[in-house]
Every structure is written in C-alpha cells, then in structure tokens.
Amino acid sequence: MTGRPAGPDDLTLTLDNPRAERIKKVAALAGRSARSRAGVLLVEGPQAVREAVRHAAARVRDVYLTEDAHARHPEIATEALAAGRFVHLGSPQVLDAMSADAQGVVAVVDDAGYALDDVLAAGPRLVAVLSNVRDPGNAGTVIRAADAAGADAIVLAGQSVDPGNPKVIRSTAGSIFHLPIVRSLPLEDAAVALSSAGLRLLAADGSGDAELGSGAADAEALAAPTAWVFGNEAWGFEPEELALADQVVRIPIYGAAESLNLATAAAVCLYASAAAQRA
C-alpha cells in the first residue's frame, strides 16, 4: 500500500479511481481478517490520524486526504511528510470508498502488538483491564478515559473486541496511540501476571463489599499500584472472574439511577486511583 514518498509538490496529484486495487486493499482493512494478515490498522478521521502521526509516526505507512480535508487540516500532511511518511491526495470518491466514516482523512498504520511482559517491565502503576467487553464504542471510550486518567496500559482480556476495530479506534479519539494496549489474553493469565508484578487487582462491580472512597477502597489503598478490572457490559463478571480480584469494589449510587454504564464507571474508578496516586 506504499509508493513513492510524497513531497509537498506531489500533493497536487490526486488518486481518482475508487475501484483501484490500492483503494480496495485499504477498504478491506475494516475487516479483522484483512488487518490480521497485513499486520496493520485502518485509522479514520482527522483526530485519530493526527494523533497517529504525532505519537506513532514510525508506524504510519500511508496517509490519504481529500483536497478539502487537507485544506482544513494542513498539519496532518505537514507533520507526516516531516516524519518521512507517505502522503497521498485522493478524490472524495476515493476516500469514501476507503471509509464512509473518515471525514476525508484515512491512514494505514502498523499494528504495535504490545506484549504484557514488556508493559510490566516498565513498572506500571495504573492499568485498566477489560474482560469480555464486546462493544467497540464502550471499549474505545474506556481506552480514552484511561488515557485521560494517566493509566500506563490497557489489557483486553477474554473475548473482548479487537482494539484494531475501526470503531474502537474512532471512539478513542486518538488515545489508542498514546499508551500500550495488550490484547487476546485469558483474564486468569493477565491477573496472575499483574499480581506477580505487584499490582493490586480491583474488580469494579455492584456486588462489591468495598465502596469506592471508603474502607478498603479509600485513598490510601488506591495509591498503591493498581489494575482495575471491568466486566462485560451486559452481564458483568462471572463468579470465577471476581475470585481473581484482590477486592471487589462498588461505586456508590446517590441518586435514583440503577447503575452506571461501563465507560462512566471506568472513568470514575480510574480517576479515583489517579488522584490518590498523585496526592
């Protein structure tokens, strides 16, 4: 999917055949099997592509923009070219054929493929673990919240959604390029590794015997290196999953709401740890 490196003058040359083989290969990356075979991600939209260029430039293979998108976001091409990346202008029809959700900006980026051992070797203090989280929007929003809270890594365990899913990437608003994301681990294996590395495992669940902000889940306890574990959107945790945690923590509900959604609960828990660790 690469070609001759673009220079500033090359941006007057426009890809204009939406049925070209290159365009079909990029569009196919919306599917997991194509991404897996190629070892790349499809990144859509100006925010996500900008963050990929700024924070993971060495992984960016190609950037594609319409002329209008280039005029609105000239920094994307400027920074990509400065980093020696391939940049191509395409007609609106070409960009639409690549992705209907791209707002005229698409990038093909190498998949990082982080390993948990490498993450733990860096001595993380705050990790978010998603267990069997299936919804791409939820997973992406939790990744974004974890990034905002200063988490050191994300682990997607069990049958969680592929973080390379374009909907996940869009939902992260670029945060997927700010911190390592480990995928495809059984939760039990992840829990053992995190515990062995000195992190306390806290499962966020309404059945918890500790309430966030009091007792075993107070600020002093939260200041320790912590891995928060969040369960499936619909059914939460299985009993054997809860048994892996050092503590099951519930978020207090002061109003009439029955519960918090996954992403909101994750943000509350991660920020509680972030504040305690920075106190």
In terms of Cβ atoms closer than 10 Å to its own Cβ (0-12, 13-18, 19+), residue 163 is buried
CA dist 66 and 175 (Å) reads 24
Phi, psi of 115 (to 5 degrees): -105, 145
Measure Cα distances from 73 to 77, 166, 168, 206, 244 in Å.
Answer: 8, 21, 22, 44, 47
Residue 2 within a domain: no
Same domain, 223 and 257: yes
Nearest to 77, CA basis, from 59, 62, 96: 62
pLDDT at 8: 47
Query: How many domains does the chain contain in total?
Result: 2
Same domain, 187 and 66: no
Domain stop point among 91, 110, 129: 110
What CATH number does residue 197 fall under?
3.40.1280.10
Token match 């993450």: residue? 119
Same domain, 181 and 266: yes
Q: Are residues 169 and 140 in contact, defined by beta-carbon separation less than 8 angstroms?
A: yes
Same domain, 48 and 20: yes
Residue 1 within a domain: no
CA dist 30 and 125 (Å) reads 34
Three-state secondary structure of 51-113: HHHHHCHHHEEEEEECHHHHHHCHHHHHHHHHCCCEEEEECHHHHHHHCCCCCCEEEEEECCC
Q: What is residue 23's DSSP assignment?
A: H
Q: What are the residue ranges in the chain where pLDDT is below 70?
A: 1-13, 216-217
Helix/strand/coil for 260? coil
Same domain, 89 and 121: no
Domain of 191 in residue numbering reads as 116-278
Same domain, 136 and 250: yes
CA dist 259 and 265 (Å) reads 9
Global pTM exceeds 0.85 = yes
Same domain, 74 and 127: no
What CATH number does residue 85 fall under?
3.30.1330.30
pLDDT at 217: 67
Same domain, 70 and 103: yes
CA dist 87 and 208 (Å) reads 51
Same domain, 256 and 214: yes
Same domain, 85 and 223: no
